[in-house]
Amino acid sequence: MTRLNSRLGKTERKVFQLLIAVLAVICFVPGGASTFGGINTSAALAGGEMIFNGESMLRGFVDNQYRFGFGVFFTQGLVLLFFLRNIEQYATLFRFSALALFIGGVGRATNILEYGVVDPQVVGPTVIELLVIPVLVVWHMRILNLKKA
């Protein structure tokens, strides 16, 4: 590998790591707010109305499931930060994390197909999960292959 290629490879690696760090923050913010605040806090932060009032029979069950799902999302942020410690050694961990995020995007897409775009705020995360995440996986494989060369 020439010096120029080596320098470009290091720059590419740093940009990749920066994007993974941004992705981790994206997991932390809504993940933390929704895990520890619940469905109504999440709705309030998004500028919406309460989803359920105190009298709704579904409130406890739906809020419980919602907090669990966002707890998993929050944990994805922790996994991504851990991955950044050594992107070669933890490649498999990254791929499983990416798979989980991609499957979440498939879930969002099925919701959109069934109900339409209920809120424009769901489009961005869906695009990230279905398009950006696979690109990051391919990019990561490229970085690993550059290091081997």
Instruction: Indicate the range of 20-34, 39-53, 79-93, 117-131 predicted with least confidence.
Output: 39-53
- For residue 39, the 8-state DSSP code is H
**For residue 93, pLDDT beyond 90:** yes
- Residue 1 lies inside a defined structural domain of this protein: no
- Reported as a pLDDT band with limits 50, 70 and 90, residue 8 is confident
- Residue 26 lies inside a defined structural domain of this protein: yes
**For residue 47, pLDDT beyond 80:** no
- Residue 81 lies inside a defined structural domain of this protein: yes
**For residue 86, pLDDT beyond 70:** yes
- Residue 39 lies inside a defined structural domain of this protein: yes
pTM for the predicted model, two decimal places: 0.86
- Residue 3 lies inside a defined structural domain of this protein: no
Could you give phi then psi for residue 124, rounded to 5 degrees?
-55, -55
**Structural domain span for residue 112:** 9-148
- Reported as a pLDDT band with limits 50, 70 and 90, residue 56 is confident
- Residue 4 lies inside a defined structural domain of this protein: no
Burial class (CB in 10 A: 0-12, 13-18, 19+), 138: exposed
> How large a percentage of the chain has pLDDT more than 90?
69
- Residue 2 lies inside a defined structural domain of this protein: no
In angstroms, what CA-CA distances link 52 with 32, 108, 119, 143? 20, 21, 17, 46
- Residue 131 lies inside a defined structural domain of this protein: yes
Tally the domains of the chain: 1
Q: What is the pLDDT of residue 2?
A: 67
